[in-house]
Amino acid sequence: MTHEQIIETLEAAFAGQLSDCDTAHGISSITIPAAANLKVLQFLYDSEDMQFRFLTDLTAVHYPNRTNEELCVVYHLHSLYLNKRLRLKLYVPVAAPKVFTASKLFSGANWMERETFDFFGVDFVGHPNLKRILNVDEMDYFPMRKEYPMEDPTRIDKDDEMFGRGGTIC
Amino acid sequence: MSAHIHLDEASIQKQTTTLNLGPTHPATHGVFQNILEMDGERIVSAVPTVGYIHRAFEKIAERRPYYQITPLTDRLNYCSSPINNMGWHITVERLLGIKIPKRVDYLRVIIMELSRIADHLVCNSVIGVDTGALTSFVYVFEFREHIYEIFEAVCGSRLTTNIGRFGGFERNFPQEAFDKINKFLEAFPRGMKEFESLLTRNRIFMERTMGVGGISAERALNYSFTGPNLRAAGVDYDVRVAQPYSSYEDFDFQIPVGTTGDVYDRFLVRNQEIWESLSIIKQALEKIAALEAADPSQKEVFYAPEADKYHLPPKEDVYTKMEALIFHFKMVMGEIEVLPGEIYSAVEGGNGEVGYYLISDGGRTPYRLHFRRPCFIYYQAYPEIIQGSLLSDAVVTMSSLNLIAGELDA
């Protein structure tokens, strides 16, 4: 099955719900509606022709300029049967970033979703243990969002003058 | 601090004991904390805590020009950092569409396989250490030292190498590097045979590791395992064969596969991978010699000519020619053009598929760079693997999974 055939099979099953289908650098990228993520993942998992049964990666990207669609959750799937990769993207608003959890289908999605929650604040509905994983539990912001600066402006123990900086770092 | 450790009901009623296999522990290689519920000597459940060495690489990468991200990738899996470096360079080269000459590919393969050998040597000898066999660990480090010297001859650093540039290497390999590689190829097989004779058919080691920490292929695939841990469970997925990069399709090597996925299988799979890597290095040297015999000018090829824009010019030109000086300045200051695009590219690291998901918006720094870290993904399976096993088995399992804290937390 070629990349185009994979996209056609998906479009046949999910008519009108897919958008931005693109194949570049050896991988097809498809945008799906946020509420349909489990349906699409289950369809790809169950399909005997495609067998996308390996979740390579799950992460998010923050696009502050896309109003009402700021957070993009990205799934990278792999079919060991076809030896092809597939990228699924869905967009959720930053005000209510709710996405159904894929951890029932892929056990590996458990920590990947925790990491995405930790850094972007995406709320995975139905996740068994949605807590921060890499950052301290007391953190109350989501550091990978674009509005958060790289350095912590609330630290008072670092003397920026000694680091060759004036004091405010962007 | 306000984060309380949740004590199980059974623990308060003294049916189980809560044991903190704490972050600082001589047996956990790296900082890993596991809060274990123990019923006597058996583990009922485990809750891992990670993040002790989280250094915010993905956030930093959004503020760094592309060259300055290579030192970050060093520090992911620091036992085999050249593989991470080259994986990053290959990602950007794929995004830019740069074609790499064969000699450069073969040189990269040599460096990557040497670092794979170094990584597997550490992991296997440390499994021995956790069962009490310290000799093999100390003995095998002599060969790791040889590998470090080869890296030092090529790029100047031993552990966190920052090796290579987009399009190839910063300078040609000196003859000294080739001499060291040849000496390593002669000396290492004897050392590896002695290492294997110490552990592989050792009665005590076999009883400590067989049937311990096993995982089935279905569970491993569901947990997105990759690398030697997945191959020990029986699935022959190797990124070098599935999506070849850096001319791996020209090489003839086998993928060792286990059956039960237990500690002994992982040990054997890594041992065999070391032998396969040795064979690949020999083939690469032969192929380079064949290229140079056919066309002597190949000896000077160490980077892709079409990557001129991304390659620091030679210093003689920088100090004498204006264009070279401008190029040098622009590259160091990060003003190299990378067209907008999105790419996911993976290489086979010491622990499995190391993936780089790069989104570029045409600026001097990536818009988003995400590292797909195999250690992070397969450590999730650890509580399920050790459930019901003894505490000593849990320790051996953790070291056989080859958890590198740097890659786990990024």
Chain A residues whose CB is inside 8 A of the B215 CB are: none
A151: pLDDT strictly greater than 80: no
Q: Using CB atoms, which residue from B62, B221, B342 is nearest to A54?
A: B221
Q: In this structure, are B23 and B154 located in the same domain? A: no
Sign, CA torsion B26/B30/B35/B41: negative
Asked if residue B217 belongs to a domain, the reply is yes
Asked if residue A170 belongs to a domain, the reply is no
Which letter does DSSP use for residue B244 in this model? -
Residue B344 banded pLDDT, cuts 50, 70, 90: very high
Chain A residues whose CB is inside 8 A of the B59 CB are: 143-144, 150
Q: In this structure, are B269 and B336 located in the same domain? A: yes
Top residue of A42, A52, A54, A155 to mutate, by most chain B CBs within 10 Å, is A54
What confidence score (pLDDT) does residue A159 get? 66
Q: In this structure, are B39 and B127 located in the same domain? A: no
What confidence score (pLDDT) does residue A170 get? 44
Q: In this structure, are B198 and B307 located in the same domain? A: yes
In this structure, what CATH number is given to the domain that contains residue A147? 3.30.460.80
Chain B residues whose CB is inside 8 A of the A137 CB are: 2-3
Asked if residue B199 belongs to a domain, the reply is yes
Chain A residues whose CB is inside 8 A of the B372 CB are: 56-57, 76
Would an 8 Å CB–CB cutoff place B95 in contact with chain A? yes
Per the CB < 8 A criterion, the answer to whether B44 and B16 are in contact is yes
Give the number of domains in chain A.
Answer: 1
Residue B1 banded pLDDT, cuts 50, 70, 90: very low
Mean pLDDT (chain B, rounded): 91
B10: pLDDT strictly greater than 50: yes
Q: In this structure, are B79 and B220 located in the same domain? A: yes
Q: In this structure, are B86 and B152 located in the same domain? A: yes
A137 to B381: CB separation less than 8 angstroms, yes or no: no
Would an 8 Å CB–CB cutoff place B230 in contact with chain A? no
Would an 8 Å CB–CB cutoff place B94 in contact with chain A? yes
What confidence score (pLDDT) does residue A165 get? 59
Asked if residue A168 belongs to a domain, the reply is no
**B256-268 pLDDT, tens per residue?**
999 999 999 999 9
Q: In this structure, are B37 and B150 located in the same domain? A: no
Q: In this structure, are B122 and B197 located in the same domain? A: yes
Locus of tokens 């090529």: B154
**A61-87 pLDDT, tens per residue?**
999 999 999 999 999 999 999 999 999
**A90-120 pLDDT, tens per residue?**
999 999 999 999 999 999 999 999 999 999 9
Per the CB < 8 A criterion, the answer to whether B345 and B361 are in contact is no
Report the gap between the CA of B239 and the closest CA in chain A (Å).
Answer: 10
Which letter does DSSP use for residue B252 in this model? -
Domain region containing B15: 9-49
**B179-210 pLDDT, tens per residue?**
999 999 999 999 999 999 999 999 999 999 99
**B132-184 pLDDT, tens per residue?**
989 999 999 999 999 999 999 999 999 999 898 888 898 899 999 999 999 99
What confidence score (pLDDT) does residue B291 get? 94
**A133-149 pLDDT, tens per residue?**
999 888 888 999 998 88
Whole-model pTM: value is 0.92
What confidence score (pLDDT) does residue B4 get? 67
Range B47-63 burial, b when 16+ CB lie within 10 A, else e: ebbbbebbebbbbbbbb
**B83-137 pLDDT, tens per residue?**
999 999 999 999 999 999 999 999 999 999 999 999 999 999 999 999 998 999 9
Asked if residue A68 belongs to a domain, the reply is yes
Q: In this structure, are B14 and B108 located in the same domain? A: no
Top residue of B68, B90, B221, B354 to mutate, by most chain A CBs within 10 Å, is B221
Residue A160 banded pLDDT, cuts 50, 70, 90: low
Q: In this structure, are B145 and B174 located in the same domain? A: yes
Asked if residue B4 belongs to a domain, the reply is no
B 321-350 residues with CB below 8 A of A? 341-346
Q: In this structure, are B214 and B314 located in the same domain? A: yes
Asked if residue B181 belongs to a domain, the reply is yes
ipTM confidence score: 0.90
Q: In this structure, are B74 and B116 located in the same domain? A: yes
Which letter does DSSP use for residue B303 in this model? B
Asked if residue A74 belongs to a domain, the reply is yes
Separation between Cα atoms, residue B41 and residue B303, nearest integer Å: 57
A-chain residue closest to B354, CA distance: A56
Separation between Cα atoms, residue A56 and residue B373, nearest integer Å: 10
In this structure, what CATH number is given to the domain that contains residue B218? 1.10.645.10
B 347-366 residues with CB below 8 A of A? 353, 355, 357, 359
Give the number of domains in chain B.
Answer: 2
Q: Using CB atoms, which residue from A29, A80, A138 is nearest to B342?
A: A29
Domain region containing A151: 3-163
What confidence score (pLDDT) does residue B7 get? 72
Q: Using CB atoms, which residue from A24, A62, A135 is nearest to B341?
A: A24
Q: Using CB atoms, which residue from A54, A55, A133 is nearest to B50?
A: A133
